[in-house]
């Protein structure tokens, strides 16, 4: 079982090496993230972008450009279309955003005829957080994509978290459906949905995990708080996965972990045919490597 993010690297090195395709790799952030991943032996890498720009960045950073396959396509939209087509043709295993607007990047993935979404899939975001104040990794969703997931989308999000947990070696993860209170508050959609999801899990309608909710955040991750409030069950105080009711709650939780608790994370878009790495310029080098490794592991 993977118990800390550093464990991702040896786990990936033990499996068949996957191929990362970077869309519009025309910036230092994208080129060096791919370069470090290749140097670590995590992936092969194909960079699509302006060839001269990529080679110039490599020269400035003293990075060996021969470690990549570089495909010249300076137009960001055409680079995205080309990358998606290569994934469809099984020429790559992981997609990564480079210097292209997020809207255009996502548009290429979501294209109904030529994109990467199968019927019934939902594009969402899964993050694995290593917080020094929690004794194990937390798998959380959705902190970046879906503003207000409905009940059917939340079922999908649980499935994506369960798949991620399985890749980490957690065979039957404990899923806490987060709401403001562990009491069922009928006026709150988050509370009602949590109760529905919990019952569906109890009946085996959502498989591969143990679900409890509604649970307040403190009850989900703090055994002492659960004991004081008299909340029993296997999930309370020991959650592996946290399902947040909306983007507001999930994003604030994520950024609080990163900035105030000095946590580390690995993140990816899920729901497409392949994992999608969507790092930001503000991410640490280590976070970028963790994210690429996580994407390589879940395939």
pLDDT at 280: 78
Domain 5-117+273-283+292-298, CATH among 3.40.470.10, 3.40.50.10950, 3.40.50.300, 3.40.50.12780: 3.40.50.10950
Q: For the chain, what are the domain ranges? A: 5-117+273-283+292-298, 124-260
Domain 124-260, CATH among 3.30.390.10, 3.40.50.300, 3.40.718.10, 3.40.710.10: 3.40.718.10
Contact 213, 194 (CB under 8 A): yes
Structure confidence at residue 284 as a pLDDT band (50, 70, 90): confident
pLDDT at 60: 96
Structure confidence at residue 82 as a pLDDT band (50, 70, 90): very high
The answer to whether the pTM exceeds 0.85 is yes
pLDDT at 230: 94
Judged against a pLDDT cut of 90, whether residue 76 lies above it is answered with: yes
pLDDT at 54: 97
The per-residue pLDDT for range 188-227, each reduced to its tens digit, is 999 999 999 999 999 999 999 999 999 999 999 999 999 9
């Amino acid at each position: 079982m993977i118990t800390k993010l550093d464990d991702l690297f040896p786990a990936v090195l033990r499996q068949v090496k996957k191929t990362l395709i970077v869309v519009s790799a025309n910036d230092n952030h994208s080129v060096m993230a791919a370069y470090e991943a290749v140097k670590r032996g995590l992936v092969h890498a194909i960079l699509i972008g302006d060839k001269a720009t990529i080679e110039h960045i490599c020269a400035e950073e003293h990075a060996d450009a021969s470690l990549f396959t570089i495909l010249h396509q300076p137009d960001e939209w055409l680079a995205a279309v080309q990358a998606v087509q290569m994934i469809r043709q099984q020429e790559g295993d992981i997609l990564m955003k480079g210097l292209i607007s997020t809207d255009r990047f996502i548009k290429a993935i979501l294209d109904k005829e030529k994109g990467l979404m199968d019927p019934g899939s939902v594009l969402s975001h899964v993050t694995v957080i290593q917080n020094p104040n929690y004794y194990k990794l937390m798998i959380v969703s959705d902190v970046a994509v879906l503003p207000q997931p409905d009940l059917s989308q939340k079922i999908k999000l649980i499935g994506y978290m369960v798949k991620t947990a399985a890749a980490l070696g957690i065979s039957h993860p404990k899923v806490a459906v987060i709401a403001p209170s562990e009491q069922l508050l009928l006026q709150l959609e988050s509370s009602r949905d949590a109760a529905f999801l919990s019952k569906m899990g109890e009946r085996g309608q959502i498989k591969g995990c143990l679900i409890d909710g509604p649970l307040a955040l403190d009850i989900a991750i703090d055994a002492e708080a659960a004991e004081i409030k008299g909340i029993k069950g296997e999930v309370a105080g020991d959650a592996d996965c946290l399902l947040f009711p909306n983007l507001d709650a999930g994003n604030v939780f994520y950024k609080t972990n990163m900035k105030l608790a000095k946590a580390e994370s690995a993140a990816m878009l899920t729901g497409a045919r392949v994992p999608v790495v969507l790092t930001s310029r503000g991410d640490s080098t280590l976070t970028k490597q963790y994210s690429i490794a996580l994407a390589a592991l879940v395939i």
